[in-house]
Chains A and B, each alone.
Chain A
């Protein structure tokens, strides 16, 4: 059963590749087949099956992408036209801006998400969650929340707009803690 599901996932990614190049229906069928095979694995062997199936899908797709690269034709080099998305700072004001971004995204967001994760686990304990589940909830939430907050902050236009996410996380954490 496991081998059949893994083979189905590899075949599904081939269908996705074929569908991408031509008939869209094949891609949709590929995704459905991959999802179905993952469900079979999840039902049969749980998280181990989902992890193994996902790795199989990624490995198969990687092979297909590399095959596409191998067959790509050689082209001439094009002239310059794009500007870099980020330039190195020179002026003191620009350096200060970068330093402010660092402080907001690294230490401030780290502390804010640590507090939010702690508040969430405190609320979970209050709701009757066991100590093990609450502890692990806190440990998993912190890096996840920090990554989300960091991504959110880094898509803001400037440091002033990066303040709200950690402040919001701190307020939410405090609310959770108060309710617990």
Chain B
């Protein structure tokens, strides 16, 4: 029995290592960017700190926003949708978006500035689809989520002392033991979080495949018909011209009918046509769902909810995956918890491959190139993210940020392969943390943000790297043991 158990543990460890090596680098990039994306709306404010903020937007101002956006779009093809984003605690700004771009609004619904958070969008794009074509990239990220879930399962099977070692973290021990402890302890205690984000990530990323299969089987290949039972169906289009819809009436009706919800988005489909209709997405307190979608006609008459809040259990479950994945269901406390758990996942991912490299070296199979390459991934990725923030600051909102990220990350990796001696973990780590610190300091001094929430990000960018550098000194192990006399 013991032999069988050992064999299973050994095989599980082998399988765990193989999966980790297959996907480790991409999983690390996704984990790191996912950690940042938890507070993406705060990054958006940080990226454009000068935009005026507000607590609410009146229904009349929302109506005025449609007219403002129409004027802004003059000379361009007519937009197929309007999105009016209403101010929230995380992003206390109103934004109107058409097919041609987004603009911040003042309290009267007038356009005051272009929405230009290219760096935040670059980070979101990296997390959601690795900057590949969106559908294929989301599928790949969804698949990587499944691989990470399988890594969790094989990791538990490969860890027979899971209870005995539950709180053992020997960070000042031999580097291999220290890394194994980081990997195992953080891996075990973050297991519910990691399984939740990987399986919801798999649901989101691979959803296009699933809906595609269901559309072929039940809806003659029409994907919208496959979405309809969950997210609601759209009325048939009618391209004949019509005046803009009355979204102020829709917002007033919503407030009267469902006073305890908070509207977050107004969406106008096919605006300016007879087929136009309005949806208002509203958050429900103490719910995991991202919101309920309330439907209205062009005159603002109530057509009822889609059912995400109180419909079929499948609708509620589907609507809950997004908040559960991104951690935006419990205010700043849950966001900070998700940031911490996300960082823990980064440590688990990074130490997994480092551990494998340590074991190779101890066996006499060390490779400076492989080790430098992994160092380039773990510390070159945050460095590239910081570098692109500076690129955004230097060249403005239209800077080539995707090329900038992959250029810097690729250059560090190429340097590691070509000259492994140049890429040292401690140097690159200090550089990346120092660059993050300088970014916070530079942002605060150059842009002088007034909002406390934006200043808090600057303070975190300065403080957390300094804290990490101070903490890392304590994590150092003792001297190398002398060989025992023969």
- B359 at interface by CB-CB < 8 Å: yes
A62–B189 contact, CB under 8 A? yes
- A64 at interface by CB-CB < 8 Å: yes
- B318 at interface by CB-CB < 8 Å: yes
For chain B, give the interface size range: 35 or more
Give the distance in Å from the alpha carbon of A80 to the alpha carbon of B230 in the complex: 56
- A110 at interface by CB-CB < 8 Å: yes
Q: Which residue of B lies closest to A121 (CB)?
A: B214
Shortest distance between the CB of B325 and any CB in chain A (Å): 11
Give the distance in Å from the alpha carbon of A54 to the alpha carbon of B154 in the complex: 22
Residues of chain B within 8 A (CB-CB) of A65 are: 167, 169, 185-186, 189
Considering residues A61, A79, A132, A157, which has the most beta carbons from chain B within 10 angstroms of its beta carbon? A132
B154–A151 contact, CB under 8 A? yes
- B330 at interface by CB-CB < 8 Å: yes
In the complex where A87-B365, A155-B11 touch, is A138 in contact with B175 (Cβ < 8 A)? no
B203–A143 contact, CB under 8 A? yes
Residues of chain A within 8 A (CB-CB) of B154 are: 151, 154-155
Main secondary structure of the interface of A (DSSP, over half): helix
A133–B150 contact, CB under 8 A? no
- A45 at interface by CB-CB < 8 Å: yes
* Chain A residues within 8 Å of chain B by Cβ, number: 73
A110–B474 contact, CB under 8 A? no
B359–A132 contact, CB under 8 A? no
- B202 at interface by CB-CB < 8 Å: yes
A138–B210 contact, CB under 8 A? yes
A154–B16 contact, CB under 8 A? yes
Give the distance in Å from the alpha carbon of A99 to the alpha carbon of B258 in the complex: 56
In the complex where A72-B172, A84-B356, A117-B210 touch, is A132 in contact with B202 (Cβ < 8 A)? no
A134–B314 contact, CB under 8 A? yes
Shortest distance between the CB of B157 and any CB in chain A (Å): 6
Shortest distance between the CB of A100 and any CB in chain B (Å): 12
Residues of chain B within 8 A (CB-CB) of A61 are: 189
- B14 at interface by CB-CB < 8 Å: yes
Within 8 A of B (CB), among A94-138: 101-102, 106, 110, 114, 117-118, 121-122, 130-138
Residues of chain A within 8 A (CB-CB) of B145 are: 143
In the complex where A84-B356, A147-B146 touch, is A52 in contact with B334 (Cβ < 8 A)? yes
- B483 at interface by CB-CB < 8 Å: yes
Residues of chain A within 8 A (CB-CB) of B89 are: none
- A66 interface neighbour in B16, B169, B230, Cβ under 8 Å: B169
Q: Which residue of A lies closest to B205 (CB)?
A: A143
Shortest distance between the CB of B56 and any CB in chain A (Å): 24
- B171 at interface by CB-CB < 8 Å: yes
A142–B210 contact, CB under 8 A? yes
Residues of chain A within 8 A (CB-CB) of B202 are: 142-144, 146-147
- B266 at interface by CB-CB < 8 Å: no
Residues of chain B within 8 A (CB-CB) of A143 are: 142, 145-146, 149, 198-199, 202-203, 206
8 intermolecular pairs with C-beta atoms under 8 Å apart: A69-B185, A74-B477, A76-B477, A77-B481, A87-B360, A143-B199, A155-B12, A155-B154
Please give the residue numbers on chain A whose beta carbons come within 8 Å of chain B beta carbons, in ascending order: 2, 17, 20-21, 45-49, 51-52, 54-56, 58-59, 61-62, 64-66, 68-70, 72-87, 101-102, 106, 110, 114, 117-118, 121-122, 130-140, 142-144, 146-148, 150-151, 153-157
Known: A69-B181, A114-B213, A143-B146. 20 other contacts (CB 8 A): A2-B286, A21-B167, A55-B330, A58-B193, A68-B167, A72-B171, A74-B478, A75-B170, A77-B477, A80-B363, A84-B365, A85-B14, A86-B21, A130-B229, A130-B314, A136-B230, A146-B202, A147-B146, A148-B153, A151-B154
